[in-house]
């Protein structure tokens, strides 16, 4: 995408077309990690060519893994086995990738060498104690800044022991970090969650031949297992598709087909919420890619109504709330969100950023510590500060398609972390959007 620091977005035309959304970011991270640890050569097709996922691949290259890129969105990973990683010659830069940093913390805590994980300005402000705490219970030694933020200084050569751990806050990233550490730990590692979270790591570990028991809210594996190389087809990223699902729903006359979108049941809370609001979204051509369910999603414009978002859906849509806020802004009647305090510690405080942005465009939004009430209305012109958060930036590009004037969205370069080419794809289907 353009590296311009801002977009100017205006109401365009009815959105039409068949779109290929980039590969799933979560699956792309994990596919490279597990392929690197496997015995043998794995091919990853549909790899997300985003800055976050490229950062993860670059880290494994520096850890001694040969990774080829024969063509865009394809990686050939020459696995070195669980005991084959080598010490890097300096700090490992995770960029903006919280997923990369937290999962790597678990993996590198078990290695015989020291490592340092660093990130960009945004990632360097994100809390890491939720992962370093339970890893310490397993025997890991990881130093952070005094406030628990990166860089992470990981001391190698620690003997890890499996634990039976109940997460105080549901987090797929923390769960995954503990499972990766558990591959190296003595005995079993068992994780219990207060609410079920995404099971990408569990599904992919199984695809790589690891014996792992998992069900919603629970996962268990024993240490000392090896991984077998396998080929992975990465589905289209549901979180990226979310912006076009909302845009197609709110722009009159629209009809979009999004091909082969990943529909992991722990990821699609937004799909259920939009349908509760009256969205017209149907699934066609169901299939399975790399152990993940996929389907084409066909969305048509439909009048939406405000809802009380069921709290049971919140863990399954935590990355999609910026898109939901835009749908709520264009609905009939108020939408109430509760139980989403996790949004305050994402790439930005997403509750505050979305509330402030919608107020800038003329709406009333009442914040609470763990949610908000969005009162819909006519969206006006204004300048939005995205705080360098890719999802905030894309959400307001969508909102502008229903605005009465120009919406300037500042600080959009980080969209490349998750959705390279968003602006071109959006313009191609009818968005009014320019750099």
d(CA 191, CA 185): 14
d(CA 184, CA 111): 9
Question: Using only C-alpha atoms, what is the Rg of the chain?
Answer: 21
Residue 377 and residue 362 in contact, taking contact as beta carbons nearer than 8 Å = yes
Spatial neighbors of 292 by CB under 8 A, at least 6 apart, are 24, 27, 200, 203, 235, 262, 263, 264
Indicate if 319 belongs to the active site: yes
Q: Output the six-digit token pair for 266.
A: 């722990």
Residue 186 and residue 159 in contact, taking contact as beta carbons nearer than 8 Å = yes
Query: What sign results for the dihedral spanned by CA atoms 63, 66, 70, 75?
Result: negative
Burial of 104 (0-12, 13-18, 19+ CB in 10 A): buried
From 120, 199, 237, 319, the catalytic residue: 319
d(CA 47, CA 430): 26
d(CA 96, CA 113): 24
Spatial neighbors of 387 by CB under 8 A, at least 6 apart, are 347, 348, 349, 353, 411
Q: How would DSSP label each residue in 42-87?
A: EEEES---SHHHHHHHHHHHHTT-EEE-SSTTEEEEEEE-TT----
d(CA 109, CA 82): 13
∠ CA(164), CA(166), CA(169), 5° rounding? Answer: 150
Residue 262 and residue 24 in contact, taking contact as beta carbons nearer than 8 Å = yes
Q: Output the six-digit token pair for 380.
A: 């006006």
Give the residue numbers annotated as catalytic, written as ranges: 319
């Amino acid at each position: 995408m353009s590296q311009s620091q801002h977009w100017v977005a205006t109401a365009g035309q009815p959105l039409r077309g068949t779109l290929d959304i980039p590969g799933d970011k979560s699956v792309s991270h994990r596919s490279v990690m597990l392929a690197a640890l496997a015995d043998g050569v794995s091919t990853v097709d549909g790899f997300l060519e985003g800055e976050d996922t490229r950062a993860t691949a670059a880290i494994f290259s520096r850890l001694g893994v040969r990774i080829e890129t024969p063509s865009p969105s394809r990686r050939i990973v020459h696995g070195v086995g669980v005991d084959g990683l080598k010490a890097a010659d300096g700090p490992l830069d995770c960029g903006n990738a919280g997923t990369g940093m937290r999962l790597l913390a678990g993996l590198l805590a078990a290695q015989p060498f020291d490592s340092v994980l660093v990130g960009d300005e945004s990632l360097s402000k994100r809390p890491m104690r939720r992962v370093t705490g339970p890893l310490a219970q397993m025997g890991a030694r990881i130093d952070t800044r005094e406030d628990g933020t990166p860089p992470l200084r990981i001391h190698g050569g620690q003997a890890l022991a499996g634990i039976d751990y109940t997460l105080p806050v549901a987090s797929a990233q923390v769960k995954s970090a503990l499972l990766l550490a558990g591959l190296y730990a003595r005995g079993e590692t068992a994780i219990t969650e207060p609410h079920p979270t995404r099971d990408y790591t569990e599904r992919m570990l199984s695809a790589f031949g690891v014996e792992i028991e998992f069900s919603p809210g629970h996962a268990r594996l024993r240490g000392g297992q090896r991984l077998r190389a396998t080929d992975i087809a990465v589905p289209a990223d549901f979180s990226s598709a979310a912006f076009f699902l909302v845009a197609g729903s709110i722009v009159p006359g629209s009809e979009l087909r999004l091909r082969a979108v990943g529909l992991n049941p722990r990821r699609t809370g937004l799909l259920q919420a939009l349908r509760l609001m009256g969205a017209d979204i149907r699934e066609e051509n169901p299939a399975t890619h790399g152990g993940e369910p996929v389907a084409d999603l066909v969305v048509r414009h439909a009048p939406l109504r405000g809802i009380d978002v069921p709290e049971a859906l919140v863990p399954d849509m935590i990355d999609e709330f910026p898109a939901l806020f835009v749908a709520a802004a264009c609905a009939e009647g108020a939408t109430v969100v509760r139980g989403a305090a996790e949004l305050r510690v994402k790439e930005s405080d997403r509750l505050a950023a979305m509330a402030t942005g919608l107020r800038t465009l003329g709406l009333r939004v009442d914040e609470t510590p763990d949610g908000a009430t969005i009162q819909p209305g006519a969206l006006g012109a204004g300048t939005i500060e995205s705080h360098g958060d890719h999802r905030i930036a894309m959400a307001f590009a969508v909102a502008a398609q229903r605005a009465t004037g120009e919406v300037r969205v500042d600080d959009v370069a980080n969209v490349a972390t998750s959705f390279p080419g968003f602006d071109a794809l959006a313009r191609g289907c009818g968005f009014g959007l320019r750099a």
